[in-house]
Structure 1
Amino acid sequence: MSDRLGLRERKKRRTKQALIEAAIRLFDEKGYDDTTVAEIAAAAEVSPATFFNYFSAKDEVVFADDVLYDGLLQEAFAGRSADEQPEDLLLRTIHQLSTADAWSFPFDHELTRIRARLIATVPPLRAGALLRNASLQQRLAHALREAYPEELDALHAAALTGALIGAIDAAMHSDLDREPTTDVVLQAAEIALRGRR
């Protein structure tokens, strides 16, 4: 029985991955507004009904990995050492996030770059990213307060995490001629938390 569940889970992951890849490639080739769910499903070789088993709308495909953040953040914060300062914890967390194997594509993958460009240039995706970043920033600030209840107040935690998320977002989406890399993200995080070096 467990083998069957394992096979089923692997098949579901392959289907979800195929839908994500098909959608991002089609959004890039045809444009976000001109791509239909039916076309995404056909490119992934599944039915439109199957698409809706995984995503409720086509914009969700672009943000499919958002469900991974809380688990990855929890894992990073669990590894906190007693003498680790808040800025150091946040920088280590960003490094772990940017190099995690859990994402749909590695950070330096072509589809990661296309996804970043789509988010920067397609208004509904940009709006969705801003809302998701605001939610992520609040969850990260809450986790930081819990990790440092004596050292940080709510304002300090919000300012640190807001600066961090804002800097990374700017680095990922403001210069479309430059490819986003782990180094760029880490440099942006370092500047936000430690100032110019």
Structure 2
Amino acid sequence: MPSETTPAGLRERKKEETRRLLLEGAARLFRERGFEGTTVADIAAYANVSVRTFFRYFESKEEVLLPDGVQVFAYVEQALAARPADEEPLEAVCAALLEAAKPFSASTLTALTRPLGDVENVITARLVQAFADFEERLAVLVRQRLPRDAADADLRAAVIAGAALSAVRAVLRTRRANRASGIEDTEPAPLRRAFGMLREIGGREGASRAAGDTGERA
């Protein structure tokens, strides 16, 4: 296996740095000039690479707005695997999603939620599809954390995965709508707040179900 100092290791680090600069440049230029006012050549120039090199990393400007989707999902899977085995599944999933968000810069997250005119519908559709694709994978991981003999385990796992990812979609959607209306979200950690709301909903429903069970027994 090549070490960090071998040519192969250096090439990988160079590729990672180029990708980071392309994403950083795109986020900055989109913010300063707008999506339509930024060209692929502009983004490539920021990273000091050729346009041809840009297309080795991304197929289009639109794809830059959905950076590292595969990498994000890999982070989630790794973070979920690191959670305690006896942790409540929804808590584990929310914690894993929060952990996976840490490596990504605020500028990238801002780029994902800024109003972008006609291209916004394309980006939103791709985001929804990306989350839908990952939802099934996440449900499988959640199912593995449930007891083998748990009632409705497949359904429960699908609901937990869907609810957690819906909270992420809700944050993107509301922040984008707020920015379109000129409203800036000045409160910290919107995703953490969204997960807190999700837990509150689950807590109330659990309490109501417990009260109903007590009433039936009475």
TM interval, shorter chain, is 0.7 to 0.9
**Is 1:168 matched up with 2:172?**
no
Find the counterpart in structure 1 of residue 210 from structure 2: none
Letter of the aligned partner of 1:114 in structure 2?
Answer: A
Residue segments in structure 2 that go unaligned for 5+ positions in a row: 205-218
How far off is 1:83 after superposition? Answer: 2.3
CA distance in 2, matches of 1:6, 1:80: 30
Query: Is the alpha carbon distance of 1:87 and 1:160 closer, same or farther for their aligned partners in structure 2, counting shifts above 3 Å?
Result: same
Equivalence map 1:18-167=2 (5 Å): 18-99=21-102, 101=103, 103=104, 105=105, 109-118=106-115, 122-148=120-146, 149-151=148-150, 152-167=152-167
Q: Which has the larger radius of gyration?
A: 2
Asked if 1 retains the 8 angstrom alpha-carbon contact of 2:171 and 2:194, the reply is yes
SS of equivalent to 2:87: coil
The separation in 1 between residues aligned to 2:130 and 2:73, in whole angstroms, is: 12
Contact 1:160 1:193 in 2 (8 A): no
Q: State the superposition RMSD in angstroms.
A: 2.6
Q: Measure the CA separation in 2 of the matches of 1:119 and 1:153.
A: 41
How far apart are 1:145 and its partner, in Å? Answer: 1.4
- TM-score, with length taken from structure 2: 0.74
Distance 1:168 1:68, change over 3 A: same
2:56 & 2:159 partners in 1: Cα distance?
Answer: 38
- 3-state SS of 2:164 partner: helix
User: Is 1:189 equivalent to 2:192 in the alignment?
Assistant: no
Deviation at 1:111, TM superposition (A): 4.1
Query: Per-residue displacement from partner, 1:8-55 (whole Å, max 9, x unpaired)?
Result: 222111111111112222222333234322222123221111001111
* Preserved contact between residue 25 and residue 43 of structure 2 (Cα < 8 Å): yes
- Contact 1:41-1:48 within 8 A present in 2 as well: yes
Distance 1:57 1:139, change over 3 A: same
TM-score of the pair, normalised by structure 1: 0.81
Question: How many aligned residue pairs are there?
Answer: 190
* 8 Å contact from structure 1 (residues 28, 118) kept in 2: no
Q: Does structure 1 retain, via aligned residues, the 8 Å contact 2:19–2:57? A: yes
Q: 1:32-84 deviations in whole A, cap 9, x for unaligned? A: 23432222212322111100111122222122221223322232232243422
CA 21–81 in structure 1, closer or farther in 2 if over 3 Å, else same = closer
Query: Taking every aligned residue pair, what percent have the same amino acid on both sides?
Result: 32
Question: CA 1:73–1:150 in structure 2 vs 1: closer, same or farther (change >3 Å)?
Answer: farther
Bigger mean CA deviation after superposition, 90-99 or 116-125 = 116-125
Q: Identify unmatched segments of 5+ residues in structure 1.
A: none
**Match of 1:137, as an amino acid?**
E
Say if 1:30 and 1:82 are closer, same or farther in 2 by CA, change over 3 A. closer
The higher relative CO (CA closer than 8 Å, separation ≥ 6) is in: 1
